[in-house]
Amino acid sequence: MPGVCVDMSCSTEKKGYYREDDVQEALIRSHIRFLKAAINYYLCDECGEYHLTSQGGLHPLLNDPKVQTQIEREQREQEWTARYNRR
């Protein structure tokens, strides 16, 4: 995947994202998949990349109606896919 840090150069050992676009995408993805969701991201002092975090406040992006619609739509699609696969 382009833009994803693989060398783990910083001590957080979290996945790093070079571009803000990429970390925003990852933030949205983590909500779609019902994971223990990250709610925000930050720019790391150590590696200069963005990391997801579950601490702090909810990122305003996740309150964006457009983004919420996208999350709901993709979650519904995943539910259907899961149901289909269970047959």
- Using CB under 5 A, list all residues that contact Zn ion: 10, 12, 44, 46-47
User: Which of 10/62 has CB closer to Zn ion?
Assistant: 10
Q: In which residue are the tokens 């990429």 written?
A: 22
Contact 3, 18 (CB under 8 A): yes
Cα(23)–Cα(53) distance, rounded to whole angstroms?
A: 11
- Closest contact distance (angstroms) between CB of 78 and Zn ion is 30
Q: How far is the CB of 14 from Zn ion (least distance, A)?
A: 7
Can you read off the two tokens belonging to residue 32?
A: 């779609």
Nearer to Zn ion, 28 or 52 (CB): 52
Longest CA–CA span in the chain (Å) reads 48
Task: Give the nearest distance from C-beta 46 to Zn ion in angstroms.
Answer: 5
